[in-house]
């Protein structure tokens, strides 16, 4: 089955700096890669996703890049703000396989003032 590894497990940045979280996946048939944000005590919520026919996707301060050859994808957050502090999860799935998501173990991002 699919295996998703996520690094780092914790990340501390100064407000205004950039943050990068990296994930690797094992199943070359995976073709859908979402990122979820989970604030303390809240449910995970999708912030951005990418499909394998695209190398990069951007939404305001958030971007995701995908390298299918190396089987890794990354989340980039620019101009970080305190409200970006949360746990971020990457995931991978075969969209044709019922969208069963395999999640990474999460990154605790702390944006310090």
Residues that bind other proteins (CB under 8 A): 1, 6, 9, 32, 34, 42-46, 49, 89, 93, 95, 98-106
CA 60 – CA 50 distance, rounded (Å): 15
Taking the least distance from each CB to other proteins, the nearer of 28 and 99 is: 99
Closer CB to other proteins, 44 or 109, in the complex? 44
| Cβ–Cβ under 8 Å, residues 102 and 91 | yes
The least distance separating other proteins from the CB of residue 73, rounded to whole angstroms, comes to 15
Q: How far is the CB of 102 from other proteins (least distance, A)?
A: 8
Tokens of 55: 């190398």
* Residue 27 vs 32, nearer CB to other proteins: 32
Question: For residue 66, what are its two tokens?
Answer: 């995908």
Shortest gap between Cβ of 50 and other proteins (angstroms)? 11
Which among 77, 98, 79, 101 has a CA at the least distance from the CA of 88?
77
* Number of neighbours of residue 35 by Cβ within 10 angstroms: 23
> Whose Cβ is closer to other proteins: residue 45's or residue 81's?
45
């Amino acid at each position: 089955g699919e295996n998703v590894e996520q690094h780092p497990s914790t990340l501390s940045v100064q407000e205004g700096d950039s943050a990068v979280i990296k994930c690797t996946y094992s199943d070359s048939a995976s073709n859908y890669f979402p990122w979820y944000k989970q604030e303390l005590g809240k449910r995970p919520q999708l912030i951005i996703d990418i499909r394998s026919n695209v190398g990069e996707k951007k939404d305001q301060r958030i971007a995701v890049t995908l390298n299918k050859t190396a089987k890794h994808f990354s989340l980039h957050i620019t101009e970080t703000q305190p409200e970006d502090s949360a746990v971020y999860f990457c995931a991978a799935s075969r969209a044709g396989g019922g969208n069963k998501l395999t999640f990474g173990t999460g990154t605790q991002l702390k944006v310090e003032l």
